Amino acid sequence: MRIVIPGGSGQVGQMLARHLHAEGHAVTVLSRRMARAPWQVLVWDGLTRGVWADALEGSDACINLAGRSVNCRYTEANRREIRDSRVLSTRLLNEVIGGLRHPPPVWLNASTATIYRHALDRPMDEFTGEYGGGEPGAPDTWNFSIGVAKAWEEAFFSVPTPRTRKVALRSAMTFSPDFDGVFDVFLRLVRHGLGGANGTGRQFVSWIHEVDFVRAVELLIGDEEFTGAVNLASPNPLTNREFMRVLREAWGTGVGLPASEWMIEIGTMLMRTESELVLKSRRVVPGRLLRAGLSLNLLSGRGLLAIWLSVGGNCEGCDPKLINVS
């Protein structure tokens, strides 16, 4: 297949491009910067049509992952860039794909599981999940992220593309062996003795491993029954307290210093990022993927570490006796 990945230069895009290229697909990544890669890379700005649009003509799938990293402080300038990089690039692709003679038959567009409310009481799937925004006491940063998610999906679905099936990828955090990825950040906390509960520890952590992310993408491309929003997440989210405990056990240490909310706020400010990633409860489950019969590997916390090791994750010091695949 010919597959075009706008915004494919980040962690998730590179992981997906590597897999698809290895499977023999013709991959084209649209990036703001030219880079050497085993696949084709074309420059785009996410704002204006260019020669990159020719790559979409006659292609088999478009997987749009464009969007500025949210690993930053939510200043006014950063907020504008976070929102515009997602919404404007999606609008541009709607315009381009809608005008092609032979558009791709399927378009997967990145979204985010953070669109759901702070959930301690029950899981959020695509059928009964409740959107967040405006909950009493919710930080402004949480409401901002939810607003971006809603505007992103509205930009995606508001323009009909009769010849192109659309699927929004409401993905949880994607764990992969890549250096400085989100899993590596959690593991570094454990290695430095900071692997205790964050805040109350009651908030849920949702994730999806790169193996399952790729398998889900392949299913969504191939199964014409899928349209609309789809959650990409492990079916068994853990509380933050349990999640961190599993990481400590796998690393072989029983002690991890907890961090109160005020400590996290100070720490994230010094790190020039936001506390939302740690403190918001994301209890997201993949209802539609499970109904379709997709067997997801990450059925438990220990399974998470097992998959991590199986794909070559750097976990020197992990206790193999604690690693079980469900």
Q: What value does the mean pLDDT take over residues 185-202?
A: 84
CA 310 to chain centre: 21
The secondary structure of the chain, three-state, reads CEEEEECCCCHHHHHHHHHHHHCCCEEEEEECCCCCCCCEEEECCCCCCCHHHHHHCCCCEEEECCCCCCCCCCCHHHHHHHHHHHHHHHHHHHHHHHCCCCCCCEEEEECCHHHECCCCCCCECCCCCCECCCCCCCCHHHHHHHHHHHHHHHHHHCCCCCCCEEEEEEECEEECCCCCCHHHHHHHHHHCCCCCCECCCCCEECEEEHHHHHHHHHHHHHCCCCCEEEEECCCCCEEHHHHHHHHHHHHCCCCCCCECHHHHHHHHHHCCCCCHHHHCCCCECCHHHHHCCCCCCCCCHHHHHHHHHHCCCCCCCCCHHHCCCC
Say what the pLDDT of residue 248 is. Answer: 83
Residue count of the chain: 326
pLDDT 10s digits, 120-156: 999 999 999 999 998 888 899 999 999 999 999 999 9
Q: Yes or no: say if 199 and 260 are a contact pair by the CB < 8 Å rule.
A: yes
CATH number, domain of 34, equals: 3.40.50.720
Q: Domain count for the chain, please give it.
A: 1
Place 89 in a pLDDT band, splitting at 50, 70 and 90: very high
Say how far apart CA 178 and CA 88 lie, in whole Å: 28
Q: What value does the mean pLDDT take over residues 280-308?
A: 75
Query: Percent of the chain scored above 70 by pLDDT?
Result: 89
- CA–CA distances in Å: residue 284 to residues 37, 50, 147, 187, 236: 34, 38, 18, 22, 9
Residue 39 sits in which domain range? 2-322
Predicted structure pTM score: 0.90
Closest CA to 278 of 192, 195, 177, 179: 195
Say what the pLDDT of residue 92 is. Answer: 98
Say how far apart CA 296 and CA 212 lie, in whole Å: 6
Say how far apart CA 205 and CA 282 lie, in whole Å: 6
pLDDT 10s digits, 13-72: 999 999 999 999 999 999 999 989 999 999 999 999 999 999 999 999 999 999 999 989
Dihedral angle at the C-alpha atoms of 209, 212, 216, 217, nearest 10 degrees? 60
Say how far apart CA 299 and CA 307 lie, in whole Å: 10
Say what the pLDDT of residue 273 is. Answer: 86
More confident residue, 97 or 247: 97
Identify residue 93 by its one-letter amino acid code: L
pLDDT 10s digits, 216-251: 999 999 999 999 999 999 888 999 999 888 888 777
Q: How many CA atoms lie within 13 A of 160 on its CB side?
A: 1
Say what the pLDDT of residue 44 is. Answer: 97
Q: What are the beta bridge partners of residue 222?
A: none
